[in-house]
Amino acid sequence: MTQTVELPLWLFLLIVIFAMVTLASHFLFPSVRWFFRRRLERAVARLNKRLQRPIQPFKLARRHDMIQRLIYDPQVGQAVQRHAREEGIPEAVAFEQARRYAREIVPSFSAFAYFSFAIRLARLISNTFYDVRLSYQDEAAIDGIDPEATVVFVMNHRSNMDYVLVTYLAARHSALSYAVGEWARVWPLSRLIQAMGAYFIRRKSGSELYRQVLSCYVRHSTEAGVTQAMFPEGGLSLTGALGRPKLGLLKYILDGTSPNGRDVVFVPVALNYDRVLEDTILTRAALGSERRFRARIGVVTRWIIKQVWQRLIGRYKRFGVASVRYGAPLSLKEFRSQHRDDAMTDLARELMQRIGRAIPLVPAAAACLVLRENGSMPEDSVQSRIQAMMNQNGDQTTQDSEAIESALNQLVERKILRRQGETLSLSGQRVDLLDYYAASAQKKKQSESNAPAENVSAGAGS
């Protein structure tokens, strides 16, 4: 036992390395993780005191634990068995496929990344690009929502800036959990988005197993009271008008609730912009038969460099007004008590109507509508008409005259309108953009509001 044993140096070093790894994995790493976990819990507790809706423990659970909880749920287990029978494959293979879907869907939320990085970045980008305005149809009703209810923000989808803008403006309420499409599954963007609590969905998946895993995750989130955000239209509006709702995620939320369980309160959020950053891409896509967005990375990079350069030389101009309005909230329990039959379709229609009634009017959209309907007009008359429309719509502010003038100048610079002396008229060059912005200022006709919803598996932002 006390004899000297000779070992080659390489073997001795290998033993030392293995011993250090064992020490770290069994003693050091757990202690370090526990130390930082305790600090994180204390930080989240302080953060929850200033949020209207505290971050739920479900959202803070470890990603590995959430994946395990998801794939061993009875709903997913039954789906795995059905999938194995239908495809003629072993259940173990179907189970691994469900596990891959769960890993793809489940986010890895980081309170630090969300509130220390994402919120600050969203605020910087929003205020750099736009004159941001926030309003309410019924602020008292928003503040009076049951603290125990699950809140779901339902929004019209004008631009990919919607994510940034609403994340920034909703920061005092809670951390939002978004459903995002395939466009965001690009490294390193995917890691950042998952750290912010968003979950990926496939917009048109033909796999029933995938839909069951997604449905199960949405049910768990809803039951746990996680504040969510969704775009019922399922993608960006190509025409500027409000589109038909898709029932995928809405169906999953309804299926995951019970009359005696936690209430779900839908809060309509309506957005509008003087200038949508992707307007040219969207109007071109509207001319085709498929939703294809041909935004080359080189074009995007040159655009960003141009904006940075203009800011450095002092010639940068913001893109006008970005207006967000919270509509009247809707309680699912109350709605279900009044709609026994086909509650899902009726709910989708009601939510879209509430979003449509809440859409704020912005100067550029109003100008396009006024001049498209009246042709050439004196500029001061156009400004008066826009001001009257905004007053009627409840969008008046002390900065309206400056915002209206800025919007008109922008429309002239982009060759959507033409200025001749003190008269404004249509330029005839960018009719697609004229119609696109005018559509966002038109109130939806009743027949369009009552159009049936589209029944698809799931919708997410484009």
- Residue 251 structure tokens: 């169906």
Q: At what angle do helices 400-413 and 363-374 cross, to 10 degrees?
A: 60
**Residue 349, in any domain of the structure:** no
**Residue 298, in any domain of the structure:** no
**Residue 426, in any domain of the structure:** yes
**Residue 145, in any domain of the structure:** no
Q: At what angle do helices 63-71 and 208-224 cross, to 10 degrees?
A: 120
Nearest to 322 by CA among 288, 361, 366, 285: 361
At 372, which CATH number? 1.10.10.10
Count of domains for the chain: 1
**Residue 239, in any domain of the structure:** no
- Residue 49 structure tokens: 């005191």
Q: At what angle do helices 63-71 and 91-105 cross, to 10 degrees?
A: 140
**Residue 397, in any domain of the structure:** yes
Please give the model's pTM, rounded to 2 decimal places. Answer: 0.81
**Residue 136, in any domain of the structure:** no
pLDDT (tens, 9 = 90+) of the chain, 462 residues, equals: 567 767 677 777 877 787 776 766 555 555 555 455 555 556 556 655 666 677 777 776 778 888 999 999 999 999 999 999 999 999 999 999 999 999 888 887 777 778 778 888 888 888 988 999 999 988 899 888 988 899 999 999 998 888 888 888 887 777 788 877 755 565 555 666 766 777 878 777 778 999 999 999 999 888 888 888 889 988 888 999 998 888 888 888 888 787 788 899 999 999 999 999 888 888 888 887 666 555 555 665 676 777 777 777 777 788 999 999 999 999 999 898 887 766 788 899 999 999 999 999 999 999 999 999 998 999 999 999 999 998 887 766 656 888 999 999 999 999 999 999 889 999 888 999 999 999 998 864 333 344 445 544 444 333
**Residue 376, in any domain of the structure:** yes
- Give the domain extent around 407: 363-444
